[in-house]
Amino acid sequence: MENEYLSNLRNWWGDLHYSSLQKRGLAIIACLVILISALFVLRGSSQEVIAAPAPLEMESISQQRLMVDVAGAVMNPGVYSLPLNARVFEAIKAAGGLKKGADTSDINQARILRDGEQIYVYPTTTSSGGVARPAMRKNGPVMINRATVKDFESLDGIGPVLANRIVSYRKINGPFAAVEDLLKVPGIGQSKFAQFKEKLRV
């Protein structure tokens, strides 16, 4: 059957009313068309398809930063976006640095930040004798590793007995690593802790 097909092709080619030069040109054009078609087919089948970034990948990229609120005696208080594992001093730097006379004695500037936390820098005041002293801290968070009994008493739900118990616990066991460590103090449960948790800082 293949021989019959080739025979018919030769007969058709011989019956064409073209000169030998024209037939040769027609054959070259046909070969070029076939070759180009084959190249397009091969190129299309081997072309690499680049997929768009998956939603989860985009989400993971957005989670590589954290937001912190820097307030108090800094040049530009506000909310700042920082890289993961950034430290307190980087948040203060992002807020333009400290104002003159800022009191950082109760701030661990090497501590790693947590998303959503606030860094509060207290100012200092000068007494009539020219001696610098910490400003009255009626506003702002309570720094649990520096707070006095009176500071703890200012919190909702904490009286003199419980405030003394917190300070005694800190003296015996060392500084608190997190505000949640106050739950280890006898007399502070989850419900009471929830009343003043937002006012605490390490």
Assigned CATH for 60-136: 3.10.20
Q: How confident is the model at residue 95 (pLDDT cuts 50, 70, 90)?
A: very high
Which of these ranges, 53-57, 68-72, 106-110, 129-133, has the smallest mean pLDDT?
129-133
pLDDT value at position 161?
92
Of all residues in the chain, the percent with pLDDT exceeding 90 is 22
Phi and psi, residue 94, nearest 5°: -65, -30
CA atoms of 162 and 153, how far apart (whole Å)? 8
Give pTM, 2 decimals.
Answer: 0.45
Look at residue 157 and tell me whether its pLDDT is greater than 90: no
CATH 1.10.150.320 residue ranges of the chain are 141-202
pLDDT tens for each residue of 171-199: 888 888 888 999 999 999 898 888 888 88
| pLDDT given for residue 128 in this prediction | 47
pLDDT for position 62: 52
Reported as a single tens digit per residue, the pLDDT across 97-128 is 999 888 887 678 888 888 888 788 878 754 44
121: tokens are 């820098």
The predicted model gives 148-173 an average pLDDT of: 89
pLDDT band, residue 5 (cuts 50/70/90): low
Long-range contacts of 169-177 (CB under 8 A, 24+ apart): 170/144, 170/145, 175/145, 176/144, 176/145, 176/202, 177/202
Instruction: Look over the chain and give the mean of its residue pLDDT values, rounded to a whole number.
Output: 78
Give the residue range(s) of CATH 3.10.20 domains in the chain: 60-136
3-class DSSP state for residue 86? coil
Confidence of residue 96 (pLDDT cuts 50, 70, 90): very high
Q: Which of 3-7, 107-111, 135-139 has the highest mean pLDDT?
A: 107-111
Indicate the CATH number for domain 141-202: 1.10.150.320
Whether residue 25 has pLDDT greater than 80: no
What number is the average pLDDT over the span 55-69?
68
Identify how many contiguous H helices and E strands the chain contains and give both numbers. 7, 7
